[in-house]
């Protein structure tokens, strides 16, 4: 049994630590009603896990937010041009590191195998967990101007029937 | 004394981030090379051994654990120090890597201070 509130705290701390240590940007949870929904081009980074439980962590943000994150990670100025591949890689690294921190912090995730992250771009991208999943969705403000949606969903392995 | 560094990671972005963190740590290297996986790293090491390798664990072609084993079989790299860099942080996993021949381990996320702490003894 996974405590959703514990997972929410773990997810928030993991995300905050990574952004403070490696991206040099603050992260703060915001009320979903204050979250500016993504209606333009956006990126979705996902990483799946399986083992005792299986599921997916997703990080979805606007194109502008992703570019700002990548620029900061690479030590560039916010106005510098960042190649799309670098932006994809940076978001992939963010989901990889958040998932690694969740895995380390919450015992139920200790033994899961984690996939290589995948990043997709497009307009109006939304993350939908599979049927029967439980989990959490958090909205965060990144720095002063950017935001992202974090989703962590899981379900127990279906037991094989004899 | 001149020191050389090889950064092995399948993400070019992560290689740049590691390079930036090493620079910010204040440590200086006379030469820095990059490789995108274990196979590419081995080719570079055969051509020119380095003093320190910073190596990711999960990579296509040849992962970090296999690379450590191969490097430890090379006479020309017997003094090379290998520091692994990964999100995987379980003690059992780290102990296995150290048993295979890695010298130390840095967990992501990291700070420049972490590189200074882990690499200073080898520089």
> What local confidence, expressed as pLDDT, does residue A38 receive?
66
> What local confidence, expressed as pLDDT, does residue A162 receive?
40
All residues of chain A having their beta carbon less than 8 Å from the beta carbon of residue B110 are: 21-22
Cβ <8 Å between A97 and B13: no
Residue-wise DSSP of A120-139: EEEES----PPTT-EEEEEE
Q: Number of A:B CB contacts under 8 A?
A: 57
pLDDT digits 0-9 by tens, B84-94: 999 988 888 99
E-state strands within B36-117: 52-55, 81-86, 104-107
DSSP state letter for B46? H
pLDDT digits 0-9 by tens, A42-72: 999 999 999 888 999 999 999 999 999 999 9
A161 inside domain: no
What mean pLDDT comes out for the span A124-129?
Answer: 78
Report the candidate in B108, B75, B8 with the shortest Cα–Cα distance to residue A96: B108
CATH code for position A65: 3.40.1550.10
The pLDDT-based confidence of A3 (bands split at 50, 70, 90) is confident
> What local confidence, expressed as pLDDT, does residue B59 receive?
87
The pLDDT-based confidence of A160 (bands split at 50, 70, 90) is very low
Nearest chain A Cα distance for residue B20, angstroms:
7
Nearest chain A Cα distance for residue B109, angstroms:
6
Nearest to B17 among A73, A96, A103 (CB): A73
Strands B52-55 vs B31-35: parallel, antiparallel or unpaired: unpaired
Helix axes B12-25, B112-119, angle to 10 degrees: 70
**What ipTM, to 2 d.p.?**
0.82
A162 inside domain: no
**What's the predicted TM-score (pTM) here?**
0.87
Strands A113-114 vs A41-50: parallel, antiparallel or unpaired: antiparallel
A15 inside domain: yes
Cβ <8 Å between B111 and A21: yes
pLDDT digits 0-9 by tens, B6-46: 999 999 999 999 999 999 999 999 999 999 999 999 999 99
A63 inside domain: yes
Cβ <8 Å between B58 and A100: no
Q: A50-67: buried (b, 16+ CB within 10 Å) or exposed (e) per residue?
A: eeeebbbbbbbbbbebbb
A111 inside domain: yes
Q: Is the pLDDT of residue A161 over 60?
A: no
The structural domain count of chain A equals: 1
The pLDDT-based confidence of A132 (bands split at 50, 70, 90) is confident
CATH dotted code for B4-122: 3.40.50.2300
Q: Which of B58, B61, B109 to mutate to test the interface with A (most CBs of A within 10 A)?
A: B109
Instruction: Report chain B's mean pLDDT, rounded to a whole number.
Output: 94
Q: Residue A116 is part of which domain span?
A: 4-156
């Amino acid at each position: 049994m996974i405590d959703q509130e514990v997972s929410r705290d773990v997810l928030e701390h993991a995300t905050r630590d990574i952004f403070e240590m490696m991206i040099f940007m603050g992260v703060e949870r915001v009320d979903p009603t204050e979250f500016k929904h993504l209606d333009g081009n956006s990126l979705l980074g996902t990483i799946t896990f399986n083992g005792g439980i299986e599921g997916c962590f997703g990080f979805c943000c606007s194109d502008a937010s992703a570019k700002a994150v990548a620029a900061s990670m690479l030590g560039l100025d916010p106005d510098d041009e960042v190649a799309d591949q670098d932006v994809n890689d940076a978001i992939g690294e963010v989901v990889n590191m958040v998932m690694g921190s969740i895995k380390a912090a919450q015992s139920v995730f200790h033994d899961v195998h984690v996939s290589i992250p995948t990043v997709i771009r497009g307009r109006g991208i939304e993350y939908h967990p599979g049927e029967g999943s439980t989990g959490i969705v958090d909205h965060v403000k990144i720095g002063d101007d950017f935001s992202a949606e974090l989703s962590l969903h899981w379900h127990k392995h279906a037991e094989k029937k004899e | 004394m001149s020191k050389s560094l090889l950064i092995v990671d399948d993400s070019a972005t992560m290689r740049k981030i590691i390079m930036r963190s090493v620079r910010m740590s204040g440590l200086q290297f006379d030469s820095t090379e990059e490789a995108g996986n274990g196979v590419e790293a081995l080719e570079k090491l055969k051509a020119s051994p380095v003093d320190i390798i910073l190596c990711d664990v999960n990579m296509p072609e040849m992962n970090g654990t296999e690379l450590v084993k191969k490097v430890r079989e090379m006479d020309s790299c017997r003094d090379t120090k290998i520091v692994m860099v990964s999100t995987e942080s379980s003690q059992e996993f780290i102990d296995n890597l150290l048993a295979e021949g890695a010298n130390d381990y840095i967990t992501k996320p990291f700070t420049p201070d972490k590189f200074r702490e882990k690499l200073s003894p080898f520089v």
